[in-house]
Amino acid sequence: MTKGSRVLITTSDDRLFGAIHPFLESLGLEVVRPGNDKSVPAKVPEAVLVDVRGLDADALDAALEPYPSSTRVVVLMSSAEAVPSFVASGVHDFVCEGDDPQAVALRLWMASRPAPGPGLSLEVRRLVRHDMRNPLAVILGQCEILTIELGGPLTDHHRRSVGAIERQTEHLHALVDHLAGLLDDHW
């Protein structure tokens, strides 16, 4: 991870900011939110999430204008229907309102990363596709064995616990799949 990578989040949506901010910090990113003047900070961010929900065409151009070409812009939209209008405006990636906040954070993290050399990209993709998915498959398999009660009957409490483990593992599996897709798109 690039030490000191900075991500700027330009949204007035406190709920969204609160959901993705801790996750981005856990990934080692410095998260910045502009003040009321909406100015770009002195240290140029590697990536920026620009909230364009509800903006007209002029406001949209103004929202995307202040960032240098070295900053990768991720646009937050109301729906994916507007994607074609951003293709020529130097936008790196798109997220939609209602997307999982962790998936939004992963997209920002990926946007903040410099593209590695070809050997590293293959190693990272192999790690995500194989080394991260296999343990999840083992956990799900063990949960299934417990659920069908091969080792004996489960109490209601144990059944709920196994269900929670399955749900969280499936969620993590979906995030790993999403990350794998981002890696394919990015590298």
**185: pLDDT confidence band, cut at 50, 70 and 90?**
low
- Name the domain boundary from 112, 130, 154: 112
CATH number for the domain that contains residue 42: 3.40.50.2300
pLDDT value at residue 166: 92
**89: pLDDT confidence band, cut at 50, 70 and 90?**
low
Q: Which of 8-17, 44-53, 117-126, 159-168 has the lowest mean pLDDT?
A: 117-126
With beta carbons less than 8 A apart as the criterion, state whether 47 and 108 touch: yes
- Name the domain boundary from 112, 138, 156: 112
Q: Give the list of residues 6+ apart from residue 72 with CB closer than 8 angstroms, or none.
A: 46, 47, 48, 92, 93, 111, 112
Residues 78 and 139 in one domain: no
Residues 76 and 149 in one domain: no
Query: Which structural domain, as residue segments, surrounds residue 23?
Result: 6-112
Q: Report the pLDDT averaged over residues 81-110.
A: 68
pLDDT value at residue 162: 92
76 pairs with which residues across the strands? 51, 95
In a domain, residue 142? The reply is yes
- Name the domain boundary from 112, 134, 168: 112
Of the two residues 187 and 181, the one the predictor is more confident about is 181
Residues 107 and 128 in one domain: no
Tally the domains of the chain.
2
Of the two residues 157 and 1, the one the predictor is more confident about is 157
pLDDT value at residue 42: 58
pLDDT value at residue 186: 59
Residues 11 and 69 in one domain: yes
**187: pLDDT confidence band, cut at 50, 70 and 90?**
low
In a domain, residue 177? The reply is yes
Residues 135 and 181 in one domain: yes
CA-based nearest residue to 32, from 3, 7, 1, 67: 7
pLDDT value at residue 35: 62
Question: Is residue 9 predicted with pLDDT exceeding 60?
Answer: yes
Residues 100 and 154 in one domain: no
CA atoms in the 13 A half-sphere facing the CB of 141 = 6
Residues 19 and 100 in one domain: yes
In a domain, residue 35? The reply is yes
Per the listing, tokens 């410095």 go with: 30
Q: DSSP character for 173?
A: H
Residues 132 and 45 in one domain: no
In a domain, residue 108? The reply is yes
Residues 66 and 140 in one domain: no
In a domain, residue 178? The reply is yes
Residues 88 and 136 in one domain: no
Residues 56 and 148 in one domain: no
Residue pLDDT, tens place only, 18-70: 888 888 888 778 888 876 445 555 567 778 888 777 777 677 767 777 777 77
Give the percent of the chain with pLDDT over 70.
74
In a domain, residue 1? The reply is no
Q: Report the pLDDT averaged over residues 73-87.
A: 64
Residues 133 and 96 in one domain: no
Can you tell me the distance from the alpha carbon of 93 to that of 2, in angstroms, rounded to the nearest whole number? 20
